[in-house]
Each structure stands twice: as structure tokens, then as C-alpha cells.
A and B are shown apart, each in its own frame.
Chain A
Amino acid sequence: MPKLSDVSRHVRSKQAGPFWVTIDIWFDGEENFERYRESRGLSPEVFASLFGTDPALVKKIPVPELHLVKISYPRATPQGGVVERDMHSGQQYVRLLDVELG
């Protein structure tokens, strides 16, 4: 089973306001976009386990013309609290790179 990093050309994460994170996954082409856009590796449950978020609120929107999947989720704690480690959420994508896409 390939990892996300094997079938994507770029993955990024960024805060979308103080309460949300949004992740953009550019697949390496149409073939892998179509094959993995609905993968269980990108399911709300995986986001819940990786990021401690509420799976019911995870939003996934494919953007076919860019071979891209956008996934957004509420931060486990709002931006800038006592235990903040990544103010702009710019490093959150890294833990997705090794996720296996089935």
C-alpha cells in the first residue's frame, strides 16, 4: 500500500481562522487522484486519531481540476493556547505523509 507521500506532489497545512486547520493534498496526477480521493486513509476517523479532532466536523472537498483533495478540521485546541506548538498549523501536514492509502 502506498503512503500519501508516494502519490502526492505537494501537501500543505495552514490555519483557516483560529479554530480550523485546512490541508491541501495535490496528488501527482489524475490517476492517483481518482484512485485515492476516497481512500480510507483520508477518512474522518484517521483525522480524529492523528489530530484529536471531532470526526463529525471533518470536511473533505475534492478539486478535480487541480487533482487536489482539501480536508479541513477543527483544531483540538484553539490557536495560541498554553500548549500551542504550531501557531499557524503549518507543520500539521507532516504526520499525514506516512499514512497508508488503501
Chain B
Amino acid sequence: MRDELKLPVKILVPCGSLGAGVREDEVEYGLARGAHAIATDAGSTDSGAAYLATGKSKNSRGAVKRDLMILMKAHARTGIPVIIGSAGQAGGDLNVDWTRDILLEVAAELGLSPKIALLYSEQSRETIKAFNADGRISPLPPLGPLDDAAVDACAHIVALMGVEPYIAALEQGADVILGGRSTDPAVLASFPIWKGAGWGPSWHAGKVGECGAQCTEKRDSSGVLLSVGRDGFDVEPLAKDNYCARNGVSAHMLYENTDPYLLTEPGGQLDVRQVTYEELGDGRSVRVTGAVWNPRPYTMKLEGAGGGKFQTIMLVGIQDPDVLADVSGFESRFLDALYARARQTLPPEEQDDFHISIRMYGWNAVDGRPVPEGTPPPRELGVLFIATARTQDLANSIAHACNPYFFHYPARMDKELPSYGFAFSPADVPRGQVYEFKLNHVVSVSDPLELVRFEWVQADAQTQPAGGQENHYAKTE
């Protein structure tokens, strides 16, 4: 028989990221197992800086609404809180508000009036500069000390929250918490810590469960149930035909993490060096014991992103045997010809402020390194053209100027001009801005809530939103 952990607090983690596809049968299973809360993050930095820089979500509105609908129905039936972190992918204020509006729409459609806590952790450039001037911001390698220019290059800056803002919202009776940018484990660890589970096991459970069923053996399922006690936690999949195994669970500490034993989080460090993993007799759960939480001075990691230059791309397919016979030689002559063509057409003041890249897919586009001599020719090539310039118009005009060359540039000058295979008309695609992360720094705070702003929303079940109309809700501070 299975030993029960003392005081297990059960967290239903329905998916790795809100909008990725919550499954109703999995949620049912977790509720039947006695879940005390539902928690998931809704984003990360993985997919690049665009989402923070623009405030847009990666997952579509429809997908997020669908998942929220399932979770809010579960909340309505059981009364357990729903905790969502890093709302809207990047967790900036715009991302949180986008998710809030979807949540209010869902609540209205279901006739619910939950008490909603919004946790904002976006920071103004002025705040960051002031903290920096005060010596409270330090770099993480490989970056150096922060300067104002880097701060000014950011369109949006967020500070990653730990468990404390979530616990403060739970304390005040939140039914639903929509958090801005937070560390993934914090979103899952907050409820068990609030309920008195061990800090080490709670943080470790949060890390293992952060990607939902990724720590399980059948990764085509979606979520996990974390049962967190004083000294350890159990993890089991929410899908009945899935199971957890010792190595799969322990290996999750490796994922997207430079150190598999020590994880720095807001206010402390998780140490799993003495942890043991044990497969339980039910054939689907793994028990994890021994994680230690070492409190440290409270710091929050900063993420900042901004838009830079603009790009226009073209893609062409090539099977021409003369090109394939000497891809590297062709690539070098081709790039020179494209640069020369662009320079002929640009005004003098723009001559030094653009960039052209061509990527030979099927040859060396992914790593960009020279191909060893004697490598046999590919069957065909996909050549991606990328013009980067100060404005979208300039990037477009470079692509337009290069278009005939990109279409016809010959491998051999003594033959008729070839025509390569475009897939589209027009062939050029204005791609928008290049977005980059500018910060890799931490800020020291005197209180975990110092950089967090709370807003409370009481959804109004009586107000049914009509399509396209703004939601009505009562806002309280």
C-alpha cells in the first residue's frame, strides 16, 4: 500500500503552458484525486524576445480561452483556486491585461464572479535606472554592469516574481491569480508553501512540474499532479495510461538549466544534491525527498527586450546542377553580387547601415560553418535571403533591388541565365523588427513585494459581454 506523505498539498498542473491544450479528462482525474489548487505558467522566454518587446502572446486567444474555460469550470465545481503565472507568454503588463480580458469573458460566459488578483511585475525604465544608480542591480555572466543605454533599448522590462506575491494574493482570498512574469517553479510552489509544505520540496516540485507532462514517460499527455508534503513530494501524470519513472523525473532538473543540482530562485537557492527518487508501488508515481531550500538575500531576475532593425526575407529553391556542384563557391559570389546590387540602389547615407545574409538550407544554413571539402552535393537547396535595415521600407527596398539577382544569379557566366524556384508572389516578405533581450541582471529588493503591483478585479457574472464589446468589471484597489 502506498504511504501517504504527511500533510500532502495537491497541485493539479494541467499543462506546461496555458493555451498548450488542457485535457478535460486529465483535469477530472486530478480533481478526483483531491487537488487543492490548479497552477500553471503561461509562458517563458524560450521563444525569443518578440513577445516581451511587443506585449503579444504566443498562444492564440482561442487556445487560451479554451484552456481557461476548462480550468474555470473545474474551479466553479470545486472552489479550488486557479493560479496562472507569466500570463500571456512574457508576463509584461500588456500580456497580463490580454489574459485578464479573456478570463473575464470566460467568467461571464460561465456565469461566474471569481475574485481575481492581478500581479504586475513590469518595471519602468526610470525605476530600473534608479535601482541601478543605487547599486542594487548586478549583472549575471556573460553580461557586464548595466548602463542606461541598455535600459533605454528595452521596450518592456519585467522582474521575475517568486512565491511571495502569490501567497499574498491567496492570503487575501483570491479565487484566480493572474501573475505577470514569474519563475516557472514559483507559480507551482506558492500554494503548497502557503499551506505549510516544506520549502525545499515545494520548490523542487515546482521545477519538476513546470513543463507539465514533460517529466513523465509519455509526453503526448498534458499534465501532472504534485502532492507536496513536509519532506518530499510525489509526482504522477494526470493521464491514466501514462506513468512517471525515476530517471525521467530526476532528469527534469537538467532541462533549460545550467546546473542540475542548484537552482537560484527569488529569495533563495534550491539544492537537490541529496535528493532521492523512488518509484512507488502504484506503478505511476515517483516520490522525491530531500530537497533543501537555502534562503538568500532577496533578488529578482530582470528580463528586458526591445526591437531593433527591420528585416525583409525571400526564399528560393534551387536544383540547378551548376549551383549544386559548388555550393560554397556559389554562395560567396552570390552574396557579393547581392551586396553590390543593394549598394547601387541605396542613398549614400544608408550605405553602411544595412546587412544581407543568405542561408543555404540543405548545405550549412543551421550552423553557418564551412562545409568540409569533398562533401557530396545536395539534391536541392533552399536559399533564404535576409535584408536587415533601419526601417521596414529600407529592408523592403533592398529586397526589391536584389530580387532579380536572387532569382537569376548564375553559377556560370558563360551560360544562359537560370531562373530559380520562388514559392510566392510577391517573393519578398516584410518580416518586421528584430527583437532582442537586453538584460541579464538581478535586482536586490528589500521586500519581495517591493516591485510588485496588485490589482483586484471582481468579475461580474450579471454582465454578459456582447461580441466585440469591452468587458465590464468592478475594479477595486
Contact = CB atoms under 8 A, between A and B. Distances in A.
Contacts of B259: 59, 61, 70, 72
Given A17-B440, A18-B437, A86 B260 contact: no
Nearest to A92: B367
Contacts of A59: 258-259
A80 B256 contact: no
Contacts of B257: 16, 22
Given A78-B437, A81-B434, A16 B366 contact: no
B365 interface: yes
Interface string A11-45: 00011111110101000000000000000000000
Contacts of B45: 17-18
Classify the secondary structure of B's interface with A: loop
Please tell me the size bucket of the interface on B: 35 or more
B250 A66 contact: yes
Contacts of B49: 18, 79-80
A68 B260 CA distance: 11
A57 B440 CA distance: 15
B172 interface: no
A22 B357 contact: no
Contacts, number: 94
Interface in A45-102: 54, 57, 59, 61, 63, 65-66, 68, 70, 72, 74, 78-83, 85-88, 91, 94-95
A15 B46 contact: yes
Interface in B130-180: 140-143
A57 B141 contact: yes
Contacts of B357: 82-83
Contact of A63 (B50, B260, B435): B260
A47 to B, nearest CB: 13
B454 interface: no
Contact of B255 (A14, A66, A91): A14
Among the interface residues A79, A80, A81, which one has the most CB atoms of the partner chain B within 10 A?
Answer: A80
Given A14-B256, A70-B254, A19 B142 contact: yes
Among the interface residues B255, B258, B309, which one has the most CB atoms of the partner chain A within 10 A?
Answer: B258
B48 interface: yes
Nearest to A76: B142
Please tell me the size bucket of the interface on A: 20 to 34
A19 B311 CA distance: 22
B286 to A, nearest CB: 14
Contacts of B47: 87-88
A80 B435 contact: yes
B101 interface: no
A87 B254 contact: no
Contacts of B359: 85
Contact of B365 (A65, A66, A70, A85): A85
B258 A86 contact: no
Contact of A72 (B258, B368, B434): B258
B355 interface: yes
Contacts of B256: 14-17, 22
B367 A85 contact: yes
Among the interface residues B49, B140, B365, B436, which one has the most CB atoms of the partner chain A within 10 A?
Answer: B436
A70 B435 CA distance: 29
A74 B142 contact: yes
Given A61-B259, A65-B250, A82 B434 contact: yes
Contact of B261 (A61, A74, A78): A61
Contact of B141 (A74, A83, A91): A74
Contacts of A94: 366-367
Interface string B361-399: 000011111000000000000000010100000000000
B440 A70 contact: no
A63 B258 CA distance: 12
Contacts of A17: 45, 256, 440
A66 B261 contact: no
Nearest to B251: A66
Nearest to A17: B45
Contacts of B434: 80-82
24 contacts: A14-B256, A15-B46, A17-B256, A17-B440, A18-B45, A19-B437, A61-B260, A68-B254, A70-B254, A70-B259, A78-B437, A79-B49, A79-B437, A80-B434, A81-B434, A82-B355, A82-B357, A82-B386, A83-B357, A83-B368, A85-B365, A85-B366, A88-B46, A95-B369
Given A83-B368, A95-B369, 20 more contacts: A17-B45, A18-B49, A18-B436, A18-B437, A19-B140, A19-B142, A19-B440, A20-B258, A57-B141, A66-B247, A70-B260, A72-B259, A78-B436, A79-B49, A79-B437, A82-B309, A82-B434, A83-B357, A85-B367, A88-B47
